[in-house]
Chain A
Amino acid sequence: MTDFVTTIGAERALRQQAVRPPPDLSKIFHDITPWLVPLLLLAVWQAACTFGALSEAILPSPASVLEAGWRLTLSGELPRNVEISFLRAIAGLAVGGGIGFSLGLANGLSSLCERLTDSTLQMIRNVPHLAMIPLVILWFGIDEGAKLFLVALGAFFPIYINTLHGVRTVDPHLIEMAESYGMGPGALFWRVILPGALPSIFVGLRYALGIMWLTLIVAETIAAQSGIGYMAMQAREFMETDVVVLSILVYALLGKLADVIARALERASLSWHPAFQNKSGR
């Protein structure tokens, strides 16, 4: 009986050891978990193509997409188009986001300015900006100006609205405290209002990044002579499905990259925020 109990105990101990590998291994496992499903899907996709379940014309295999990427990188076509799309996205974000940020601050700080502009902006906001494409083409042709305008318009509103909201929702108790300690308007802005609005501004930025890529994809597929969207449309003409899939993946990667950068910025500048503090930091 005793033997039996000890055996169970020993077996349980063994099993626990097996379930709980050494700390490093479990950490590695923890880090790769999010990638397991994508890798599995990729493997299934490759297998389906290799064994002929999927025709190359419908969906080329991951290997041929990679190969297309390599081919276009060597020819310089892919880097050139990525660069053009990237510059368009950044320029549109800088223009639209910059105006949105400035107007958001101005309207959050001055009620006169808000009364003057906010209702107009809210009316414009209700126009889906992609509905402007025909008009934009009439205005700018299929120039860079058209893409810049559309991306800027798309990125403007999320940043405007969230900056305004952020400035508005700064704790009035903190403002009263700062004023009672003799902070002037400048110090009040830099030390209380802007840091208080920052979490909301970052929400706006990440939202704007999403709209930025979406707008760019639509603009480049409809009216462009360069860029990733143009590359995809060209490939469609020649039935190069691998290049089309490649373009889609490049868009996805660029979008992910932008989000990672925005998150890193957020973490660096909001390190005071309880949501960004590790619980062990006590």
Chain B
Amino acid sequence: MSAFVDPRACVVTGVEFDNPSRPGASITVRHLARGFGGKQVLHGLDLDVTAGQFLAVVGRSGCGKSTLLRLLAGLDRPDHGSIAFDEGEGTEQKRIARVMYQEPRLLPWATVLANVEVGLGPNRDATGWRSRAFEALSAVGLADRAGEWPAVLSGGQKQRVALARALVSRPRFLALDEPLGALDALTRIEMQQLLEKVWRREGFTAVLVTHDVAEALTLADRVVVLQGGAIAQDFQVNSPRPRRRGDRDLAHLEEQILSHLLSS
């Protein structure tokens, strides 16, 4: 299994950030509604995500998964309902949340290191930003590419830079909008392992939107099925980590979720 895995991608170096045990944020969503041009995408959605949980949201295309994620990340405003972090309203979403998009969205005119530095946000002028950006880059195994242009990187490497950018500010909530969708199968497996590793080390709350049920089951503590703008089913995934592909329990769960999606 590990024969084709780039060792640099998996071995998270012993880099420790200044505050290693900062907890993830808990998220409380109540009666969330959002529509676009008369079409109601989400209505009356309730969801509780505990601190540090890895939640996966699966569903058919157009079921509102991405809309939900954009609302959670503060990229969009709900028509009705509320999203609260840490059981208190009014927390600045943008300061807690970081997003990994389907595309890497790197600035092509900035070096790899400068792209990671973007993730520090307005604090980037604080002293030591360069070493922090560099640490984040080492954590995804790309320290030796720091000075290069994004254009020379492969798709998987670009997503690793995007991951370093998302993590450099030590977010308490990471929203993942199908970030591995465009990668080839092997790179995908490497990235899943890397994601799991940084999540376990950093302890942030993660919400992953995907239509790949197997991927959701490899990574998440909990998988919810989104249907008709609300949560239709909720599964706990208790298999021990790191999860093996071909695990019987996971295969059974995958079958259950898929048949639910197919029958809908």
Contact = CB atoms under 8 A, between A and B. Distances in A.
A100 interface: no
A176 B97 CA distance: 14
A180 B75 contact: yes
Contact of A281 (B94, B150, B152): B152
A273 B121 contact: no
Interface stretch (B8-16, B39-47, B102-110, B240-248): B102-110
B101 interface: yes
B104 to A, nearest CB: 9
B57 to A, nearest CB: 19
User: DSSP class of A's interface residues: helix, strand, loop or mixed?
Assistant: helix
B69 to A, nearest CB: 12
A180 B99 contact: yes
Contacts, number: 58
A216 to B, nearest CB: 34
Interface string B134-160: 000000000000000111100000000
A47 B191 CA distance: 70
A191 B101 CA distance: 20
B214 interface: no
Contact of B95 (A182, A270, A281): A182
B108 A177 contact: no
Contact of B107 (A180, A184, A192, A198): A192
A180 B109 contact: no
A93 B94 CA distance: 44
Given A173-B101, A178-B118, A180-B94, A195 B107 contact: yes
Contacts of A10: none
A244 to B, nearest CB: 46
25 contacts: A177-B99, A177-B105, A178-B118, A180-B73, A180-B74, A180-B97, A180-B98, A180-B99, A181-B119, A181-B121, A182-B94, A182-B122, A191-B110, A191-B118, A192-B107, A195-B110, A196-B109, A198-B109, A272-B108, A272-B149, A272-B150, A273-B151, A277-B151, A277-B152, A281-B152
Interface of B: 73-75, 94-95, 97-99, 101, 103, 105, 107-110, 118-119, 121-122, 149-152, 165
Given A270-B109, A277-B152, 18 more contacts: A174-B105, A177-B105, A177-B118, A178-B118, A180-B73, A180-B97, A180-B98, A181-B121, A181-B165, A184-B122, A191-B110, A195-B110, A272-B108, A272-B110, A272-B150, A272-B151, A273-B108, A281-B152
